[in-house]
A and B are shown apart, each in its own frame.
Chain A
Amino acid sequence: QKEVEQNSGPLSVPEGAIASLNCTYSDRGSQSFFWYRQYSGKSPELIMSIYSNGDKEDGRFTAQLNKASQYVSLLIRDSQPSDSATYLCAVKGGYQKVTFGIGTKLQVIP
């Protein structure tokens, strides 16, 4: 079992729709959870972090965490073509090790 699992996609959504990205993790002791966005040829940039069960909203982005199910998700409302990128789920566990998933490629169709 991979430590952090994501569907590689591509996930295609029409402009203005809600994009839903999912991630599961294996280490129950994980403490912090992050979503990074990576444009082609660029480095990952942090867009959301979440540490407690529930939802965290920031503008058009909502991160959801369910530690019992070991599940993290990212919702992007009113998706824009500029949101087209690969979204990486990252999990911080013991000794501050940060493990990434394979990333989900999102395509927002105008």
Chain B
Amino acid sequence: EAGVAQSPRYKIIEKRQSVAFWCNPISGHATLYWYQQILGQGPKLLIQFQNNGVVDDSQLPKDRFSAERLKGVDSTLKIQPAKLEDSAVYLCASSSAGGVSEAFFGQGTRLTVV
């Protein structure tokens, strides 16, 4: 079974530029999560999709971050414009339906904003 795929693995941009991350979840997984992990901290949930609908985006900085999940499969997370404090690893995870199913993570995208 293929895992969660993310790209790119690394990205360096200047502040005020825009950037986009892509995630392809495990086949059949209805739930998709985007997390931001700043060095030394635990993953912070940015947005959660159930199929192509948003379940939770309470911690997404909506003035600069946006995300979509077309057709309930792939997802993109965009930052525009980026700030220095956005430097972090962006993790995508997916999970099958059901309260006991665990989340599987992709390799993450390390973003550096200079």
Chain A residues with a Cβ under 8 A of chain B: 4, 6, 8, 31-32, 34, 42-46, 49, 51, 88, 90, 92, 95-103
Contact = CB atoms under 8 A, between A and B. Distances in A.
Given A44-B91, A92-B100, A96-B95, 10 more contacts: A34-B102, A95-B50, A96-B31, A96-B55, A97-B45, A97-B56, A98-B45, A100-B43, A101-B42, A102-B42
Contacts of A103: 41-42
26 contacts: A31-B100, A32-B101, A32-B102, A34-B103, A43-B91, A43-B106, A44-B43, A44-B91, A46-B102, A49-B100, A88-B43, A90-B103, A92-B100, A95-B50, A96-B55, A96-B97, A96-B99, A97-B45, A97-B55, A97-B56, A98-B103, A100-B42, A100-B44, A100-B45, A101-B42, A103-B41
A50 to B, nearest CB: 10
Interface residues of B, number: 27
Contact of B55 (A42, A88, A95): A95
